[in-house]
Amino acid sequence: MTGTGPPDRRFERQVRFAPLGESGQQRLAESRVLLVGVGALGGVLAQSLTRAGVGQLVLADRDVVEESNLPRQVLFEDRHAAEGVPKVEAALESLGRIGGPTRLEAHALHVDASELPRLAEGCDLVLDGTDNLATRYLVNDHCVRAGIPWIYGGVVGGAGLVLPVLPGRGPCLRCVFREPPPPGTLPTCDTAGVVLPAVGLVASLQAGLALRVLVEPDGLEPALVELDAWSGEVRRLRAGRDEACPCCGGREFPWLERGDADHAVSLCGRNTVQVKRTGAAPDLERVGARLEAAGAAVRRAGPLLRAEVEEFVLTVFPDGRTLIEGTDDCGRAEAVYDRWLGG
């Protein structure tokens, strides 16, 4: 993508910032960044890095746009929700209107242990725009093993956390949070809600640290930062590397090595379960025809197939991954999948 003016004019205010300068802008232009998740945090991150002139931005997200996303996910519009557009496709459209030199690459898929190494290949940085802990621990495993910096961000209610992970020079996610907590023990966007100012605050700090890591990581002291958009409070907690950490100390990578067997995952605050089965990708035309013959209301949404069956809405991706809206019960969702798509 090309802007309307020469690069020196487009970024002239930015390069006047002394810690960045022209040499830093050139390093941004030569960088490749993977953004996992383009919803709330990811939308702000994608805008910030595109406007900053990052050379290549790889977008990966498994989800489609819904109306409940619109108050806090800045890349999406009513029509994207009405049409059930994949988030990465809507993001490409919105980011494309910004212009500028950033090359955008989009992948509508679930980032798992088989996909992440491919997506992150050649990347200088990985950014966390996700909404689930399993993917974050997976990203931590891969980045520590590969020596790639990444920046964790999480938000719920009016507050959130940010942690830059610089492998070999500071703590990893498991140094600070050894294991993910049991399900139901932490507030989520479903139980506590979330507001856009908190999203913007957390993602903006992530973006600022991203520029720093890409341009001049030396001298950056990793710390866990807690930001509260509602109270206005900020806390910076020094986080040292734990020599007993099983990940960066013991070189154990269970989230990366467990593979991607058949699984179902309840999505945060969505009353939706994602079901994935191993095996060949489905023929969506034949699947659609079979569902229509059974009385389901079926339509295509770009590369996706959406069907209304019973009290559920099924969104089938080209790789066979399926979102089942209308339940947060993984067992029930798997039964619906097997009943309608398992054959």
Q: Which of 186, 336, 329, 340 is nearest to 266 (CA)?
A: 329
Structure tokens at 71: 């108050």
DSSP state, residue 81:
H
In this structure, the number of other CB atoms found within 10 A of the CB of residue 282 comes to 19
Structure tokens at 221: 């002291």
Distance CA 121, CA 117 (A): 6
Q: Which of 206, 213, 223, 156 is nearest to 185 (CA)?
A: 156
Residues in contact with 257: Cβ distance below 8 Å, sequence separation at least 6, in sequence order: 113, 141
Distance CA 244, CA 250 (A): 7
Q: Length of the chain, please?
A: 343
Q: Are 330 and 320 in contact (CB under 8 A)?
A: no
* Dihedrals phi, psi of 25, to nearest 5 degrees: -60, -35
Structure tokens at 224: 């866990």
Structure tokens at 28: 């941004």
Structure tokens at 118: 């491919």
Phi-psi category of 68—alpha, beta or left, where left has phi over 0 and alpha has psi -120 to 50? alpha
Q: Are 142 and 128 in contact (CB under 8 A)?
A: no
Question: What residues act catalytically?
Answer: 189
Structure tokens at 37: 């998740």
User: In the chain, at which residue ranges do the beta strands (DSSP E only) sit?
Assistant: 32-36, 56-61, 103-108, 125-128, 150-156, 159-165, 223-228, 234-238, 263-267, 272-276, 297-301, 304-309, 312-316, 322-325
